[in-house]
Chains A and B, each alone.
Chain A
Amino acid sequence: MINDSNQIPMVKLTNAYKRFGDTTVLEAINFQAAKGEFISLVGPSGCGKSTMLKIIAGLYTASEGEVIVDGMNPKDAREEMAFIFQEANLLPWKRVLQNVELPLKLRGESKERRLETARRMLELVSLSHALDRFPWQLSGGMKMRVSIARALTLAPHVLLLDEPFGALDEMTRDNLNEDLLRIHARDQWTAFFVTHSAAEAVFLSNKVIVLSANPGRIAEEIEIDLPEIRTAELREDPAYLNYVAKVSHAIRTVH
């Protein structure tokens, strides 16, 4: 994975704080990610993982400190970012194809371009057979694929994923993890991936950030030095299992 210190950081947080009223949710976050990095955020619940993601997205504003995405204020950099939510977050009244073309529609692209791109993205997530279905006709895993396809339509430079696979069964989750890496290898966006699962974090990332709770601060950064091309077999690899143990331990012992 690309982790070149000479490169201009894609995302940079400098001494970032987030407070809601009297509660400090994030404290003194210093962090940067280069283009193409895949970074997972783990930690006990309530540690501010999602808040950190939303600050990068510009959905929340940092109370203090600086957040830069591709050299810009997050709100100005939205065109370069896509957010994948905890639930698939699809419009229930729109069919799969219309859901995927939505971001392009909102941006005012021509109908032809929209549909062409949406079809291509759905092919990428192996859903070409389900274009005309409504969200309620899809399984949880399929909904998540639609959500991924929708996020990719804008060719983002930064992909923010807020526990996207938390509600799925393990097999579906593993498959989606592999798909995500396949697409990442192709497109090289910078990813921030919030998860509760140490295994998932290790499998996907080149770096895992462990946050402590109350207030959330970066407790540990664990580099995952595993091959760039990762397949299902990696899950049986001792080196991988070692990392999972290390991350699990870090989550359990943060304070």
Chain B
Amino acid sequence: MASTSIKFQSALLPIVSGAILLSIWHSISYFYGQSVGYDVQRIIIPFPHQITSALWTEREALWASTRQTALSAVIGFLAAVVIGYALSMLLASAVWVKKALYPWVLVLQMTPVVVLAPIFVLWIGQGLPSITAITFMIGFFPIVANTTMGLVSTDRNLLDLFKMSNATKSQEILYLRVPFAMPYFLTGMKIAGTLAPIGAITGDLFAGSSQGGVGGIGFMVILYNSQLKIPELFATAFVACLLGFVFVGCVNWLHWYLLKDWHDSARKTEIA
């Protein structure tokens, strides 16, 4: 009984609070429109229903740009995962390698990616290449930092166990270090997954173009803004938010799926 009522609460309460927020929004739009006129109101703080109708009328353009952004996000994210993991392996392979390279990884991380964005455009051109590069840059560091930490903090006793079994270096990596670092790696992946859609949209703002296809969400932001299509801009924000949820949901599911059998983090919590 108690648990059903808790479930009911957690389903109902967000709906109630959402409805309240929407009606507050609606009232503000209404009173603002009353004082400055509805033409101005529409481009400053549109009614919720104006946003939903913009969502509907612009559905094709938004869907196309969302797919484009999702594509950049996925490619940039996967590149961050693969290259990040490879670099972590390298960093964890010997203490001197980490000492030599890690400061430079940090330097790269501390340089804001938006500053580098124009350089990427210069080097590899507008559109997908630059956007994925920017996404990659944003997602790369959390993966490297977490995975390296996991690889180097492998339990000493387990390492001794492998030593006692005369395990080869590659057996030690494959059967011990990699699985041991898995939760760390997946945590890095979760952070990178949160950042990837943001990275793809940011990249789009700097390097997006509709040439040779469709622009992504960032491109639509620039477009709608320049045309003062503010309800459409809000609709774009809504779509971007959904994309973020889907992306993070997938990564969190992967985290849960890979660790559910044995790791505390997946056993005790549900999919976020």
Contacts and interface: CB of A to CB of B under 8 A. Distances in A.
Interface of A: 54, 57, 59, 78-79, 81-83, 85-87, 89, 91-93, 102-103, 105-107, 134-136, 154
Interface stretch (B136-144, B156-164, B218-226): B156-164
B256 to A, nearest CB: 15
Nearest to B179: A93
Contact of A102 (B163, B165, B182, B264): B165
A59 B161 CA distance: 10
Contacts of B262: 92-93, 134-136
Interface in B242-272: 261-264, 267
Given A92-B262, A92-B263, A134-B262, A87 B157 contact: yes
9 contacts: A54-B160, A79-B166, A83-B160, A83-B164, A85-B160, A89-B155, A93-B262, A134-B262, A136-B267
A78 B166 contact: yes
A107 B165 contact: yes
Nearest to A57: B164
B163 A59 contact: yes
B225 to A, nearest CB: 49
B263 A106 contact: no
A218 B259 CA distance: 47
Nearest to A81: B164
B164 A82 contact: yes
Given A82-B164, A105-B175, 5 more contacts: A57-B164, A91-B176, A107-B166, A134-B261, A136-B262
A59 B158 contact: no
Interface of B: 155, 157-158, 160-167, 171, 175-176, 179, 182, 261-264, 267
A83 B165 CA distance: 9
A106 B165 contact: yes
B165 A85 contact: no
A134 to B, nearest CB: 5
A171 to B, nearest CB: 26
10 closest pairs, A vs B, by CB? A106-B165, A103-B165, A106-B167, A93-B262, A83-B164, A89-B157, A92-B262, A85-B157, A93-B179, A134-B262
Nearest to B166: A78
Contacts of B182: 93
A91 B155 CA distance: 10
Contacts of B162: 106
A78 B164 CA distance: 6
A177 to B, nearest CB: 22
B261 to A, nearest CB: 6
Contact of A89 (B161, B163, B261, B267): B161
A86 B157 contact: yes
Contacts of A136: 262, 264, 267
A172 B171 CA distance: 34
Given A78-B166, A93-B182, A59 B261 contact: no
B161 A83 contact: yes
A139 to B, nearest CB: 17
A20 to B, nearest CB: 15
A79 B175 CA distance: 19
A59 B166 CA distance: 11
A57 B165 CA distance: 11
Contacts of B263: 92-93
A86 B160 CA distance: 12
A78 B167 CA distance: 11
Nearest to B264: A136
Nearest to B163: A59
A106 B175 contact: yes
B164 A59 contact: yes
B165 A91 contact: no
Contacts of A82: 164
A54 B161 CA distance: 11
Contacts of B166: 78-79, 106-107
B15 to A, nearest CB: 37
A91 B261 CA distance: 12
A79 B167 CA distance: 11
Contacts of A103: 165
A59 B160 contact: yes
Contacts of A83: 160-161, 164
Contacts of B171: 106
A85 B163 contact: no
Contacts of A59: 160, 163-164
Contacts of A86: 157
Nearest to B155: A89
Contacts of B158: 89, 91
